[in-house]
Structure 1
Amino acid sequence: MTLQIQTIGPFEVRRDNAPVVLPSSRKTRALLAYLAITGRKHSRQSLCDLFWDSTDDPLAGLRWSLSKLRGLLNSDEAELLNSDRDTVWFDASAVAFDKDRLNELANRTDGDQKEADEIWKTTAGLPLEGCELPNQSSYMTWVEGYRQDYTRLRGGIAKRFARDEKQAWQTRDKWAERWLKVSPYSRGAAFTAFESKYFAAGRPAAVGLAGHLERKFKVAGIEPPAFDLAPQAEAAPSPRNQNAPAEQKIRFVEGKDGVSIAWASVGKVENPPLVKAANWLNHLELDWDAPVWSPLFKELSKANHFVRYDERGCGLSDWDVDEITFDKFVEDLEQVVDAAGLEKFPLLGISQGAAVSIRYAALHPERVTKLILFGAYDRGWRFNATPDQIREREAVMVLTETGWGMDNPAYRHVFSRTFMPDANGEELDWFDEFQRLTTSSENAVRFLEAFSTIDVRDDLAKVQCPTLVVHSRGDLRIPFSTGRALASRITGAQLASVDSQNHLLLGRESASVRFVELVQEFLKTP
């Protein structure tokens, strides 16, 4: 017997197309969804922490839910829900998920529009509807991640068909509208919708759409793409040739322990490469059009084939991971550059990403041609913190764990103010929300702990490539003296400063422009 699980829209289970009546307990249905979708073993304790952290006897709650689900799912023919003394797991090998059809469509190379339309329409909806548990913040963070993955998948499918030159313009126009609906503030989606509308429905329709999109983008505080509104002959080249904004390509690579790492490239492949190591915090989609890093990233991608990635535990990479450690950060960088097919490349590291870059350059001197470090430190705070500083830092971790996912940004504001003291209200609001959407409270604490024990002091002398160390003179999080001392221990390293108090540079400030100039000058130096 085949089990069908519907995760898009109301959560449902069917056996041989007949509905399985699930328990009325929303928590039990949520548990089933989590076990089935993740498809791996979970400790009983972790499940208790995720679903029953506020009950007096969480193990009893877990046992009750499992007993209800076993009676519904297990049979003489197949044991789908399994457990032992310490762990619980769901055997998904004989299960068909509705999202599987979207995954297959995303990986197909043919352009069968009839089937593609049918799949698109039958897999529309809000994933895991009816499985929400508002009081379980860590579980809801996982739900949000699953929903974001679904949205990203649909956006990628719509983007592929909208830009498929083998399709008629009317077909491309339909898919461009779908892409824009999924990604309403994507400059690439907006331009593609304008372009396809121009050739599918004519100039007046395209001009009307462009005006609507420009107003919408400006209200949101986002720069709209440059729409070409001049009259053109029907056989004229596509507007995309001149005005299309740079679009990043997002892909995934598997870490050595099976963790999925999201990485992106942007800029012409024939341009010189530039790799940016991940740092706190990344989200390939959210920070590409962000008011903070977007100008910096887009400027660097103009002359380079720019490669970056999301750290494990955040962004589009897997959040539910066993290890968030410095060694794993370095391993993930190794996997990304191999997946990108890069043999030799300059490496950019910001904040703790600088320490990852230093370790990688020390381990692989034959591959790193130049090293650029910004806001760098060579050891975490635990190495020289006073007892009072340790208590203060650990108190912040407790606040982070309890308040990270809340609507009130006060807890996340601790980081916003120290990272970017010169940020205005809009930028602070964006960064507060960005942090919440980028990782879970549990992972935020795990990151902070991993950063506290970083130690690459012995690696500094092993760096063999030309190195540029840039630091904000007024950095409130990592003092300029830290960057200066680090540069003194790397043979031949250049030290430069920018006039800012920000640990993470704001795209609008002159220090950001100066940083790009320093990087570009350094990369051009033989």
Structure 2
Amino acid sequence: MTKPLFTMQTIGPFEVRDMDGVVPLPPSRKTKALLAYLLLAERKHSRQSLCELFWDNTADPLASLRWSLTKLRQLLKADGATIIHADRESVWLDNSRIAIDKDPLNLVANEGGVAEEHADKVWKSTIGVPLEGCELPNHGDFMLWVEAYRQDYARLRAGIAKQFARDDSLSWQTRDKWAERWLRFSPYSAGAAVTAYQNKFYAAGRPAAQGFAKKLTKSFNEAGIQPPDFVIDENAVEDIPRASLIAPAEQQIRFVQGEDGVSIAWASVGDPGNPPLVKAANWLNHLELDWDAPIWSPLFKELSRSHRLLRYDERGCGLSDWDVEDISFDSFVKDLEQVVDAAGLDRFPLLGISQGAAVSIRYAVLNPDRVSHLILFGGYDCGWRHTATAKAVIEREAVMVLTKVGWGMDNPAYRHVFSRTFMPDANAEELDWFDEFQRLTTSSDNAVRFLDAFSTIDVRDDLAKIRCPTLVVHSREDLRIPFATGRKLAASIPGAQLAGLDSKNHLLLGREKASAQFVQLVREFLAKG
């Protein structure tokens, strides 16, 4: 196969590249639009039709066409090959020496048996608005052609997304990702909406699916379209291959309803005869998804070997209710109270990670007879609104705006604001998993509400009141919450023990040595009685 001389980017800003990089196109928008048209409308074009399409109101349209063709010929030369051809009557482009960025997308759509991983890479590399920068607002016929090309692109992507959203050989999380993509290109398709709802139910749980259906119903109603029925036959779950379900058999997931009616999902795992260990919720939780995560799953599973481990999903995320009125620090503490009461625990050690440390601190002060030991990892005693400079406040609030806008997008750049600082040592697979995990675990609205609630946390006055043995563990190079914060926390708690881990990660990766060190520290601390 002859190697292409040029690569043309038709998705996003229109560009031409050769072996040396981007080829500078003439500043004339019409010349650029002419090249795009010759490239994509693969046939011979009469000079007269091109003049009518681009220069219908020009004094000498043929001269204008000749000027544009001359400029393009000068640029599109390589190895003596001629790319643009013309005779007295017609103009055409030799596509045999040109690669187009949309070609891999066409192959995914038209070839059977394409691996999902490959399709996902192609999908991410072809995101954008086709023929950006080629618009000619005063040329109606040309703009009709541009719009038709963009619609073909949308239909192509919708078809690919539909294919993988309904592929029962894939995991529910993967199918959920493709279903949401399908829905973006077919927002009022009943089939896309129902498929997305069903995949969301099995990928992220009932609360996430119910909140999703609520938004879809609103969208359909606002467009004046009858929304479909969002119904799940939960008995049919038994007919689904166990390999495609997420919830592990060893976990027992239950629900407790708080005083405000919010349903909180909690899970216990491990031998009921083992001593309990309660983990407070933190950013973000999903009882099913994080149990088999490539990040903290080994840590959880190792702790459950020696303890009956209790975890729960914070209100507004995971399997707990998403549509809630109150997302605040006080509500987080109440949720912890509800879970340990539902589990029938009288006295237990309490593990708090990140902002879960502050929740644990407040609970331990309010219930000194129930907390036997306090373990705080990556914790802090006050949110940034209490200590940030005016410049830092502006930066933090800008992040909240970005979160609101970009949380649910295919492009993970917005969620990378968190994943890159939470886990700087994570590899590409781990970052991809965490990006997708965040998207599945809560909505953009709730993500912003969480960030706002975390910013106002203040348990500084509680620290001196803690009476139980306390272990403060912190990664020495934590980029999210500096080690100095952990050291200050330990110094403010009577008799607290401080331990540093050789890690940069705020959330420990299951594969790193620091994860095993953390488990060992916890076991030794709890064994002291």
Number of the residue aligned with 2:431: 428
Say if 2:382 and 2:460, in contact at 8 Å, map to a contact too. yes
2:485 to 472, 482, 486: 482
1:506 to 495, 504, 509: 509
Change (3 A) 1:251 1:375: same
1:379 to 366, 377, 382: 382
Number of the residue aligned with 1:437: 440
* Structure 1 residue 255, shift from structure 2 partner: 1.4
- Distance in 2 of aligned mates of 1:281 and 1:361: 22
- Distance in 2 of aligned mates of 1:373 and 1:403: 31
1:294 to 292, 297, 321: 297
- Distance in 1 of aligned mates of 2:452 and 2:248: 37
- Distance in 2 of aligned mates of 1:157 and 1:520: 41
1:279 is aligned to 2:282: yes
Number of the residue aligned with 1:350: 353
* Structure 1 residue 142, shift from structure 2 partner: 8.3
1:519 is aligned to 2:522: yes
2:313 to 297, 310, 313: 310
Partner-residue secondary structure (3-state), 2:283 = coil
Kindly report which structure 2 residues correspond to 1:319-338, keeping only aligned pairs within 5 A, or say none.
319-338=322-341
- Distance in 2 of aligned mates of 1:519 and 1:290: 21
- Distance in 1 of aligned mates of 2:240 and 2:450: 36
* Structure 1 residue 461, shift from structure 2 partner: 1.0
Q: Deviations over 1:300-347 (max 9, x none)?
A: 000100000000000000000001000000000000000001010000
Number of the residue aligned with 2:372: 369
- Distance in 1 of aligned mates of 2:244 and 2:333: 34
- Distance in 2 of aligned mates of 1:254 and 1:186: 21
Amino acid at match of 2:283: W
Number of the residue aligned with 2:108: none
Say if 1:154 and 1:182, in contact at 8 Å, map to a contact too. no
Partner-residue secondary structure (3-state), 1:426 = helix
Say if 1:155 and 1:179, in contact at 8 Å, map to a contact too. no
Say if 1:253 and 1:262, in contact at 8 Å, map to a contact too. yes
Change (3 A) 1:333 1:145: farther
Change (3 A) 1:135 1:475: farther
Amino acid at match of 2:205: D
Number of the residue aligned with 1:149: 205
Number of the residue aligned with 1:398: 401
Number of the residue aligned with 1:180: 242
* Structure 1 residue 256, shift from structure 2 partner: 1.6
Number of the residue aligned with 1:72: none
- Distance in 2 of aligned mates of 1:441 and 1:187: 27
Please tell me whether Structure 1 or Structure 2 has the larger radius of gyration of its CA atoms: 2
Unmatched tracts of structure 2, length 5 or more: 1-178, 210-230
* Structure 1 residue 380, shift from structure 2 partner: 0.2
- Distance in 1 of aligned mates of 2:480 and 2:263: 30
- Distance in 2 of aligned mates of 1:406 and 1:323: 26
Amino acid at match of 1:348: L
Say if 2:198 and 2:232, in contact at 8 Å, map to a contact too. no
Change (3 A) 1:324 1:514: same
Partner-residue secondary structure (3-state), 2:291 = coil
- Identical aligned residues as a percent: 70
- Distance in 1 of aligned mates of 2:290 and 2:507: 13
Q: Deviations over 1:279-319 (max 9, x none)?
A: 00000000000000100000000010000000000000000
- Distance in 1 of aligned mates of 2:241 and 2:272: 25
Change (3 A) 1:187 1:274: closer
- Distance in 1 of aligned mates of 2:240 and 2:201: 20
- Distance in 1 of aligned mates of 2:422 and 2:233: 32
Say if 1:155 and 1:182, in contact at 8 Å, map to a contact too. no
- Distance in 2 of aligned mates of 1:475 and 1:520: 23
Q: Deviations over 1:31-64 (max 9, x none)?
A: xxxxxxxxxxxxxxxxxxxxxxxxxxxxxxxxxx
Change (3 A) 1:250 1:154: farther
Unmatched tracts of structure 1, length 5 or more: 1-127, 160-174, 189-246
* Structure 1 residue 178, shift from structure 2 partner: 3.4
Amino acid at match of 2:336: L
Say if 2:248 and 2:288, in contact at 8 Å, map to a contact too. no
* Structure 1 residue 155, shift from structure 2 partner: 11
- Distance in 2 of aligned mates of 1:500 and 1:156: 43
- Distance in 1 of aligned mates of 2:473 and 2:235: 40
- Distance in 2 of aligned mates of 1:439 and 1:178: 25
Partner-residue secondary structure (3-state), 1:471 = strand
- Distance in 2 of aligned mates of 1:342 and 1:329: 18
- TM-score when normalising by structure 2: 0.57
Change (3 A) 1:467 1:486: same
* Structure 1 residue 187, shift from structure 2 partner: 5.8
Amino acid at match of 1:502: N
* Structure 1 residue 180, shift from structure 2 partner: 1.1
- Distance in 2 of aligned mates of 1:287 and 1:144: 18
Change (3 A) 1:492 1:287: same
Amino acid at match of 2:295: V
Partner-residue secondary structure (3-state), 2:410 = coil
Say if 2:205 and 2:318, in contact at 8 Å, map to a contact too. no
- Distance in 2 of aligned mates of 1:463 and 1:385: 26
Over aligned residue pairs, what C-alpha RMSD do you find? 2.8
Say if 2:247 and 2:288, in contact at 8 Å, map to a contact too. no
Q: Deviations over 1:103-135 (max 9, x none)?
A: xxxxxxxxxxxxxxxxxxxxxxxxx99x96766
- TM-score when normalising by structure 1: 0.58
- Distance in 2 of aligned mates of 1:261 and 1:505: 25
Change (3 A) 1:181 1:479: closer
